[in-house]
A = this chain, B = another copy of it.
């Protein structure tokens, strides 16, 4: 059943039926009711392909997820981010086009999405400190939101959290507890979030006159194993850290394993603060998991970023939308005074 047939069955023109269905005012209430009833009865659904061609809008937003080449690894925050963003899109009648591409095909993917018109807007994940995608997207003229920041993002729209302040705060908190050997188990510092966290860590150490040590800092994909390995290696040092900062709760779990394996206890001999994206299947809180953490729910970010994108698509000429969210430090059971 298509519009033409539906119109014929009602003895109306396609125009009238289309207007009736789309809520235009130039249709008598009685006629509209008749049309809606018939449409429902016939299970009529307008063909999206035709609709999109006719309107020139694709009613689709694109998420391009870069797949890190070596490990073929998908950042575990994506599923939660996508889930919450997806809800917003669905509510607004938009489709979500997910594009999974190797890290060096990302640029080509954006270019293609833009030029073949298959999306009305884009979400940018995992921005790097300097990121070729930002200038590219600016030049393409498609609305986009960056989840995070990057060089050149002053003039574009983004949603980010205070990574630097959060880690500065966390580091200070550990120093206040008497720790002066603090390990940082960070994400890859080519990524802006990790770079900023490092800056916060460095700044706090410097401000408090605590001397840094390169051996106390590692950066990599934030897996459990990476946390375990890093903590193990650092704990083997003569001047082993007495406290750790991790950039992901998965790495924190790895640190916990390394610590437990040595018969030590988090919050006693070793302290740990992790960043917590509040992943739905890795809740921090109940039952003693309770890492002391800088918390910022990724789902809230996904939801808000999607809303911002919708708004930008509706009114592309509006100035850049930028939101910088504060991050709270929540106390768990993994921090205690230095022994």
Contact = CB atoms under 8 A, between A and B. Distances in A.
B96 A95 contact: no
Interface string A77-97: 011101100110010000111
Interface size range of chain A in the complex: 35 or more
Interface in A282-313: 282-283, 286-289, 299
A53 B52 CA distance: 9
A198 interface: no
A275 to B, nearest CB: 15
A76 interface: yes
A250 interface: yes
Given A48-B116, A73-B281, A97 B100 contact: no
A72 B299 contact: yes
A49 interface: yes
Given A112-B45, A281-B222, A100 B87 contact: yes
B101 A257 contact: no
A65 interface: yes
A58 B67 contact: no
Interface in A214-261: 221-225, 228-229, 232, 250, 253, 256-257, 260-261
A159 B174 CA distance: 50
Interface string A135-164: 000000000000000000000000000000
Interface of A: 43, 45-50, 52-53, 56, 58, 63, 65, 67, 71-76, 78-80, 82-83, 86-87, 90, 95-101, 112, 115-118, 221-225, 228-229, 232, 250, 253, 256-257, 260-261, 280-283, 286-289, 299
24 contacts: A45-B115, A49-B53, A49-B56, A49-B118, A65-B83, A72-B299, A73-B281, A76-B281, A82-B98, A86-B99, A90-B100, A95-B97, A96-B97, A97-B97, A222-B281, A223-B283, A224-B253, A224-B282, A225-B286, A229-B286, A232-B287, A253-B253, A256-B257, A261-B288
